[in-house]
Structures are given as C-alpha cells and as structure tokens.
C-alpha cells in the first residue's frame, strides 16, 4: 500500500509541477515578510494614507477585475477615491489570513477578511467586511503587491465565506462529522449521491483522511461566489500541504466547485465537485 501511495503521490506531484500547479507554502521567514506587508497595508488604511498604500505596490498594478494602474502616483489617486473610505476610520484589520508561496518562491498569493470600522455622522461605529485578495512579487528581499481585489461582503456572501472557512477547518482537522454537518441531504459529491449524513461521513473520511497523517496547511482560495436567491455556486481552488502516514510530503492545488442552498437563514452545501486532495 505504501509503495502504491508513494508512487501515486510522486506521479501527481510531477504532473502538477509540469503543469505549473504545484505550490510550496514556504518558509516561516518569507511568510513573516509577507505578513509585514499586510500589516503595513493595515496601517495605510487606518491612517487613510494613499501614498503609503501605493508604495507597497509594484507596477503595473492590477486593481479589481479589470483596471491596470501604470505607476504609483496614479495609484495614490485611485486608492484615495476608490479604496479609502470617506469618513473617519476607527479601525482596520485583515483577519483570517492565508499566505501561499509559489514554487519559485518569488510569487505569492495572500487573502483574508478585511474588517473596516468607520464613524458615521451620529458618532456610531459602523463595521463593514471585505474579502481582500493580493498577489505579491519578491524583488530582492522586498515583497510588493502586484494585484489587489477588495470585495464587499453582503450578508449572504459573508455566510457562504464563513461556511467555506468551516469546510477548510473540517478538512484540516480531519473531522468528517463536521464536514457532514455543513451539508444538506441528499448530497452529491463528484456525481455520487449520498442520501444520508452517515453515508457522507464515510465519504469524507475517504476523501480527506485516508492515509493522511497531517495537513500543514489547507486553503480554499480564489473564491468566486454567485448568489441567485436561495441558491449559490462557488468556484475556487483547494490548496493543500500535507504529510501522509508514511512520512511523505505533498503540496498541490485542485479546482473545487460547490453548490449551496439556503434553508431558512442558513446556507448548506448540496453539491461538491472535484474538491478532493
């Protein structure tokens, strides 16, 4: 069994490497440097300092889905009008951070939940949440932001993000019971029907726990959420770094698709496709 699993991991790793999909989560020092950039971004937002934010970036900068900003002076103007809030800022923090280094160790992805607190005209603090996603490039010893997306999270999208965070945690902690609790039944997984929660638990055990010793990192990234009434779809990438029970290390990415339904005030997963490790 060990030989078969090791061979399978070796072949899959080679295929991912050739396709450019394999990733390394990288050293603690590189992650720390990238988190320092995120800390500086927090400070720039808190101080409403568009120049400081612009100097954290590399140019051209890809801003949002379509805009390309050619140089930092223009970025400062753009950030001042489109990124920084109009009122007084009482707080800004990027939580739930994920940092993923690419195989060359010169590119990285980072994302998190940006919590912005502003003071309205009545003196009340208003809290707004965004999903912030950044691409970073290392120039010498300095990490610079080359792409930036800042998406407002409405109530439904916020709930779906939280659900995906719980799904991440369920995989990372190898808890098939928790994963099953996030679903509605009957549940479809990779075109197979699981009529009951008990059947889904067994499936999640095979899908995410079989011969896996530990997940060093697990991240559902690049989340594209579309909500239509009481139904929603998610297209994302499942990135994992793990060690199997034989001590073999594996890191890679896989596309993942989810369908969800809203029951009452809660969202549950009804269909999972291609979300294996």
pLDDT in tens, the chain (277 residues): 444 444 344 433 433 333 334 344 455 689 899 999 999 999 999 999 999 999 999 999 999 888 999 988 899 899 988 888 888 899 999 998 988 887 677 999 999 999 999 998 889 999 999 989 999 999 888 999 999 999 888 889 989 999 999 999 999 999 999 999 999 999 999 999 999 999 999 999 999 999 999 998 888 988 999 999 999 999 999 999 899 999 999 888 899 999 999 999 999 999 999 866 6
pLDDT attached to residue 27: 59
What CATH number was assigned to the domain covering residues 28-152? 3.10.450.50
Give the C-alpha separation, 219 to 155, whole Å: 22
- Structure-derived torsion over alpha carbons of residues 80, 82, 88, 93, reported in degrees to the nearest 10: -100
Residue labelled with tokens 């009804």: 270
- Residue 229, sorted as left (phi over 0), alpha (psi -120 to 50) or beta, turns out to be left
Tell which CATH architecture fits domain 155-273: Roll (3.10)
pLDDT attached to residue 4: 40
pLDDT attached to residue 117: 94
Give the C-alpha separation, 178 to 261, whole Å: 18
Contacts of 83-87 spanning 24+ positions with Cβ under 8 A: 83/45, 83/50, 83/53, 83/150, 84/45, 84/48, 84/50, 84/53, 85/48, 85/116, 85/118, 87/118, 87/119, 87/120
pTM to 2 decimal places: 0.69
For 27, counting Cβ atoms within 10 Å of its Cβ (0-12 exposed, 13-18 middle, 19+ buried), the class is exposed
Q: Where are the domains of the chain?
A: 28-152, 155-273
pLDDT attached to residue 73: 87
pLDDT attached to residue 139: 87
Give the C-alpha separation, 54 to 147, whole Å: 12
In tens, the pLDDT along 71-121 reads: 888 998 999 888 888 888 999 999 989 888 876 779 999 999 999 999 988
Share of the chain residues as helix, strand and coil, in percent rounded to the nearest 5: 30, 45, 20
Q: What are phi and psi of 170, to 5 degrees?
A: -65, -40
pLDDT attached to residue 2: 43
Residue 267: how many other CB atoms lie within 10 Å: 24
Domains 28-152 and 155-273 share a fold: yes
Q: What are phi and psi of 38, to 5 degrees?
A: -65, -35
């Amino acid at each position: 069994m060990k030989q078969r699993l090791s061979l399978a991991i070796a072949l899959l790793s080679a295929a991912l490497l050739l396709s450019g999909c394999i990733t390394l989560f990288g050293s603690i020092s590189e992650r720390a440097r990238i988190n320092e950039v995120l800390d500086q971004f927090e400070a720039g937002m808190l101080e409403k300092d568009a120049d400081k934010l612009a100097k954290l970036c590399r140019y051209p900068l890809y801003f949002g889905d379509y805009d390309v900003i050619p140089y930092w002076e223009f970025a400062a103007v753009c950030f001042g009008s489109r990124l920084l809030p109009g009122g007084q800022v009482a707080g800004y923090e990027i939580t739930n951070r994920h940092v993923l280094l690419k195989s060359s160790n010169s590119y990285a992805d980072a994302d998190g939940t940006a919590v912005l607190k502003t003071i309205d005209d009545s003196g009340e603090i208003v809290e707004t949440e965004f999903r912030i996603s950044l691409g970073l490039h290392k120039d010498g010893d300095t990490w610079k932001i080359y792409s930036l997306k800042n998406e407002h999270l409405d109530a439904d999208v916020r709930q779906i993000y939280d659900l995906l965070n719980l799904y991440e945690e369920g995989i990372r902690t190898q808890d098939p019971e928790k994963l099953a609790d996030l679903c509605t039944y009957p549940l479809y997984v990779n075109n197979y029907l699981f009529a009951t929660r008990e059947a889904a638990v067994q499936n999640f055990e095979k899908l995410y726990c079989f011969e896996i010793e530990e997940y060093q990192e697990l991240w559902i990234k690049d989340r594209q959420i579309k909500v239509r009434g009481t139904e929603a779809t998610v297209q994302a990438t499942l990135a994992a770094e793990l060690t199997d029970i034989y001590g073999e290390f594996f890191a890679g990415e896989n596309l993942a698709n989810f369908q969800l339904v809203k029951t009452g005030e809660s969202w549950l997963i009804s269909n999972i496709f291609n979300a294996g490790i």
